[in-house]
Amino acid sequence: MTERRKDFLIVTTLLAVLILFFARILFTDQIVRAPDIINEFYWWAKHLNDATLGELFKEISLRADWDPLTNGGTTTGGGTTSLHFLLDQKLILNLFPAPSNVAWFMVLHLFWGGAGVYAYCRLIGASPIAAFFAGLVFALAPENASLINAGHVMKIATISWAPWAFWCLEKGFRTNRLIWFMATAVVLAYQFFNTHWQIAFYTCLVIGVYGVVRLMGIRAAEPGRPRRDIARLAGLNLVTMFFFLSTVAISLAPLADWSKGTNRGVQSGANQGKGGLNREEAMLWSLPPEEVAAFAIPGLFGLSRQEAGDNPTNIRSYYWGRMVFTQTVSYMGLLPWLLAPLPLLFRRDKYTWLAVGGIVGGILFSMGKYTPFYQFLYDYFPGIDRFRVPKMMMFIPVMGLGIMAARGIDILRDEVARDDRKFRRYLTGLAVFAFGLLAVLGVEVAGRDHWISSFYQMLAQPTRYEQGAYLVQQRWDNIVLETAIAAGLAFAIAGVIICFARKLIPARVLLALLFFLFVADVWRINSKFLFLVPVPAKVKGVMTPAMEFVSKMPEGYRVLPMDGSDPMQYVTNKIPVMFTPNPVQQQRWQDYLDAFSFSSAMPDMMNVRYLVYGKEQYDQEKSLLDSRFAPVFTSPDGSSVVLENRSVLPKGWLVPSVALIPDSRQTMAILQNPTFDPRRLALVETPPPLPLPAPNASLSGVVGTVRLERYEGNRIDMAVTAESNSLLVLGEKYYRGWRANVDGKDASIYPVNHILRGVYLVPGAHRVEFLFDPMPFRIGKYLTLASFALFAVMLGREWRLRRRAGMGE
């Protein structure tokens, strides 16, 4: 059997193991209980599942879109258009039946990441069986697999590409060929297209470190190597960086422009006006140092359940550590850690040190606020302060540990190594570790009352869903049980390896037993994070009576659900809503939301025509509502009430006078004032280019008329007749990506009333067109397409060179 066929067979076996391991969530008519899946991803998956293959390809469109339905109108400037390149994702969600297609999506991406680790390990000299185990560690380690529980679907998809980036880069260093460095850039770009930009950023960060360390290692190990070769490798690393930037430009260019105006962007007030997140928020979800002990004893600080849901019966204690909360676990399996010392004893080469660097560096990074290391990066390294959850870096230690474990297995099977004195020291260390855990268990049991008394405050700490004195005993019992299980597992692993070293069992039995112990270990933990529930009864696409009523409103108006229902239910039914929650908002919009008042004209300006209340809620709050909100519909079962805003403004209106208010805080205060009339006065940030009456001037008569002729996501057309110089105000968010034409000529768009957009007009009849066509997206699109074309040319060149080489043989 050729090496290629052997690799294919083993990778296929890896897939089969994963399918069996995750069969519980793959072969079911239920769905993983995670809010991100139930409320968001599942409905996109169902939409793709219902589509034909022809419809899937028909949806591909490389243009920047403005979504008029969501959050009062929203966009990323075209930054997510690259999702259209991810045909593999669409095919998975289309070919596998819903609702299990979501689980298949996650499991197949875990497999793809495991296959990448397998390929990397084979490249650096690991045997097939050892590389197989490394891939298994990456795919099944609860640190990665428990992301399923949190519903981090796109995070799993993004992580799955990281090992392939390292494989391509290592191929580049080994062959010194341009094509592999370009391939690294393409893989990193494709990873970025999966939209979990924090994981993509971290991968690029580590790839950069990997390239620099490899280059320095070559320089140190081969002092006689020509400087020209070193310079070429350095240049190829720069090619990786620049080709990545050009390939990913279709996403990166618009996102960089979009982020400037967000509440985390460089122009926001976060982080004392420097942009990004402030220090406290950026370092949320840092891994507490004491939780390193949970690498060996996984339930030491409890095991997470799904937030806001019933605790699965196989979890004895909910997470109670120092992180805000967690839906995942940092465990990676005990066996990989016990194999990791072997390469440090017998194979201290560059790959061992790179893996160790990934493990140690990744863990230190994940500790975030608890280490000077991350504090320094936050202060001085660009981009770090744009993200919270430093612990997201933990996928790098998982990969590093898998590589170390693979090398450890090869050393175990090496008879020469087993005869070495260092191997006997390793066996002693295994035994000491197992007895050490047993000793810890003994101390816990013998000193129960003392330890509970000493750590009572910590053990009694309430969570968002649990409180009470019973938590102390529950948590202590869980600590004792988890320590006992860890000790038993350590003795089992040590016993198997010692028996093999004494030739009591053959190599095949050793591998089978180690495989069984690892799978049983991670299954026990992962099974606590695979919690299934029936598919939600609410089906998007089926309207409630209240939705049926508001769906008949004229185009351009919006609804604001006040009954706690999911606004995306309305969006799916093509009903525009004013607000949908998002952790990253445009700063102008966030200011508006923070100041929003129903007693002011703020809902009128955003074209909010209807409010949807629960009947009981409305009865309690109707005395607080402005009189202009009148009930116009009650659902047949009496559960919902729809209120109409009698003073809602049309999509566009003409304003005769403006007030120059450069201070946004003063603007928001004026907008909150119930006496402010947006029909007579507009608040602007720059002097008007046309002479307009002063705000306190006596105005009378009709300003003009505005008729909406076309209202689409990327285009709005209006017929306007102005009686005098005036400002046309549009009830749509101001965003730099929009441009305006007045009678076929370009016109400037100005921010009005902080959040809206406006165009100044002279007297007369005009045709005004608003077009969404952001320049950063256009530039980025052509850069990306040019990069793809260049890479295709290089692949063709590579194919021709290999063909010639084959013919020459």
- Measure CA of the first residue to CA of the last residue in the chain; give whole Å: 22
Q: Is the pLDDT score of 711 beyond 90?
A: yes
Residue-by-residue DSSP string for 224-285: TS-HHHHHHHHHHHHHHHHHHHHHTHHHHHHHHHHHTTBTTSTTSSTTTTTSS--HHHHTTT
pLDDT of 540 above 70: no
Of all residues in the chain, what percent carry a pLDDT higher than 70?
Answer: 96
DSSP class of residue 393 equals G
- pLDDT for 655 beyond 70: yes
Residues in the chain: 809
Q: Mapping DSSP to helix (H, G, I), strand (E, B) and coil, where does residue 586 land?
A: strand
Question: Who wins on pLDDT, 59 or 155?
Answer: 155
Packing angle, helices 87-95 and 42-50, rounded to 10: 80
The model's pLDDT over 272-301, given as tens digits with 9 standing for 90+, comes to 555 678 888 889 899 999 999 999 999 999
HSE toward the beta carbon, residue 535, CA cutoff 13 A: 17
* CA-based nearest residue to 496, from 522, 516, 525, 524: 516
Which conformational region is residue 21 in: left (phi greater than 0), alpha (psi within -120 to 50 degrees), or beta?
Answer: alpha
Give the confidence band of 564 by pLDDT, cuts at 50, 70, 90: confident
Query: Is the alpha carbon torsion for 589, 595, 598, 600 positive or negative?
Result: negative
Write out pLDDT tens, residues 113-140: 999 999 999 999 999 999 999 999 999 9
Mean pLDDT, range 314-333, rounded to an integer = 88
Q: What is the pLDDT of residue 60?
A: 75
pLDDT by residue (tens digit) across 383-438?
898 898 999 999 999 999 999 999 999 999 999 999 999 999 999 999 999 999 99
Angstrom distances, CA of residue 506 to CA of 349, 410, 503, 512 = 28, 14, 7, 10
Reported as type and span, the H/E element at residue 189 is helix 178-193
In the chain, the amino acid numbered 626 is D
**Taking the CB of residue 79, how many other CB atoms lie within 10 A of it?**
26
Answer yes or no: is pLDDT of 698 > 70.
no
Q: Which whole number is the average pLDDT over 78-105?
A: 92
- Is pLDDT above 90 for 622? no
Q: What is the mean pLDDT of residues 575-580?
A: 94
C-alpha–C-alpha distance, residues 320 and 328, integer Å: 13
SS3 704: strand
The reported pLDDT for the residue numbered 538 is: 56
- Using the predicted structure, report yes or no on whether residue 806 has a pLDDT greater than 80: no
C-alpha angle 43-201-403 in degrees, rounded to nearest 5: 95
CA distance 754 to 774: 20
Question: What pLDDT does 265 receive?
Answer: 66
Q: How far is CA 172 from CA 169, 177, 232, 237, 325, in A?
A: 5, 6, 11, 9, 41
Closest by alpha carbon to 518, among 405, 400, 435? 405
Position 683 pLDDT exceeds 70: yes
Residue 701 pLDDT level (bands cut at 50, 70, 90): low
Integer Cα distance of 87 and 94 in angstroms: 10
pLDDT-wise least confident of 534-538, 630-634, 775-779: 534-538
Run of H or E residues at 16? helix 3-21
H-run or E-run covering 613: strand 608-614
Tokens of 510: 């050793």
Write out pLDDT tens, residues 26-85: 999 999 888 888 877 888 888 888 888 888 877 778 889 999 999 999 999 999 999 889
8 Å CB contact between 783 and 253: yes
Give residues with Cβ within 8 angstroms of 225, minimum separation 6.
Answer: 218, 219
Grade residue 267 by pLDDT with cuts at 50, 70 and 90.
low
Long-range contacts of 409-412 (CB under 8 A, 24+ apart): 409/127, 409/129, 409/130, 409/133, 409/339, 409/511, 409/514, 410/126, 410/127, 410/130, 411/342, 411/343, 411/345, 411/346, 411/347, 412/339, 412/342, 412/497, 412/500, 412/510
The pLDDT value recorded for residue 273 is 54
Question: Model confidence at 326, in pLDDT bands (50, 70, 90)?
Answer: confident
Name the residue among 111, 236, 257 with its Cα closest to residue 181. 236
Task: Answer whether residue 537 shows pLDDT above 70.
Answer: no
- Work out the average pLDDT over 177-181: 95
Would you say residue 268 has pLDDT above 80? no
Residue 220 pLDDT grade (very low, low, confident, very high; cuts 50, 70, 90)? confident
Q: Give SS3 for 454.
A: helix
Mean pLDDT of the chain: 91
H helical segments located in 65-177: 87-95, 100-123, 128-140, 142-145, 147-150, 153-159, 162-175
Question: Residue 159: exposed, middle, or buried by beta-carbon count in 10 A (0-12, 13-18, 19+)?
Answer: buried
What does the pLDDT look like over 221-241, one tens digit per residue? 888 788 888 899 999 999 999
Question: Which residues, 6 or more positions from 377, have their beta carbon under 8 angstroms from its beta carbon?
Answer: 365, 384
For residues 151-179, average pLDDT: 96
pLDDT for 700 beyond 70? no
How far is Cα of residue 256 from the mean position of the Cα atoms in its chain?
Answer: 17
Position 463 scores a pLDDT of: 82
What is the DSSP track for 776-799? HHHHHHHHHHHHHHHHHHHHHHHH
Q: Burial, 126: exposed, middle or buried (Cβ in 10 Å; 0-12, 13-18, 19+)?
A: buried
Q: Where is average pLDDT lowest: 90-94, 277-281, 348-352, 775-779?
A: 277-281
Q: Which of 211-220, 274-283, 619-628 has the highest mean pLDDT?
A: 211-220
Average pLDDT over residues 316-320: 88
% of the chain with per-residue pLDDT over 90 = 75
* Bridge partners (DSSP) listed for residue 728: 654, 759
Contact 146, 531 (CB under 8 A): no
How much is the CA Rg of the chain, to the nearest whole Å?
30
Is the backbone peptide bond immediately before 99 cis, with ω within 30 degrees of 0?
Answer: yes
| Three-state helix/strand/coil letters over 719-760 | EEEECCCEEEEEEEECCCCEEEEECCEEECCEEECCCEEEEE
